[in-house]
Amino acid sequence: MSGSFNGLQALFFKDCPYAYYVHCFAHRVQLALVATAEKEISIWLLFSNLTTIVNLVTSSSKRNVELQSYQVNEIARSIVAGECETGRGSNHIGTLHRAYTTRWSSHFDSICSLIDMYDATINVLENIIFDGTSTSMCREAGGSLTVMKSFDFILFFILCIKLWGSQSFFVSYNKNLLIS
């Protein structure tokens, strides 16, 4: 809304140059959360690794199809085993979400999407390691796989879910998490 060439703030200043602009409270909270998280090395590293994993897995339509087929197989296995419920609005097939700097809820969505697709993402990374087109891609997939299976990554992953999942501004996220 406060773009330098267009946006609401520019329109107000055009008509009334003495207007006073104040960011909305929700936007301030998001900016404060992002700035605070970037200063904590463990959280920054978590989201840096998460971004690498998401980019590596979703950068190819072939990998997206592979991710979704693993999800279909996992959901079918869970239904047969009685581990998940069936019905309207459950067991959606999706893709990994990216975390954006200006929307802190996107960080939460990104974590939740990786939790929902953890096993499928592991399988896609393993396939990239064995069938990768370049050695650099195979190495990046291998590093991402090592990170995903590390204690620190999983610990901060769970910590972020526990902390942010209980916050009132994430109440609208109506999803069953695998972590209890």
**Read out DSSP for the chain?**
---SSSSHHHHHHHH-TT------HHHHHHHHHHHHHHHSHHHHHHHHHHHHHHHHHHSSHHHHHHHHHHHHHHHHHHHHHT-S--STT-S----PPPPBTTBHHHHHHHHHHHHHTHHHHHHHHHHHHHH-SSHHHHHHHHHHHHHHTSHHHHHHHHHHHHHHHTSGGGTT-----S--
Residues of the chain with pLDDT under 50: 1-5, 167-180
89-140 tens-digit pLDDT: 566 677 787 777 666 667 778 888 888 888 889 999 999 898 877 888 889 9
The reported pLDDT for the residue numbered 171 is 38
- Rounded Cα distance, 50 and 6, in Å: 33
Query: Where along the chain do its domains lie?
Result: 40-170
The reported pLDDT for the residue numbered 104 is 61
- Rounded Cα distance, 175 and 112, in Å: 9
The reported pLDDT for the residue numbered 145 is 93
The pTM is what? 0.67
The reported pLDDT for the residue numbered 146 is 94
The reported pLDDT for the residue numbered 180 is 35
The reported pLDDT for the residue numbered 142 is 92
Question: Given the structure tokens 């526990």, which residue do they identify?
Answer: 162
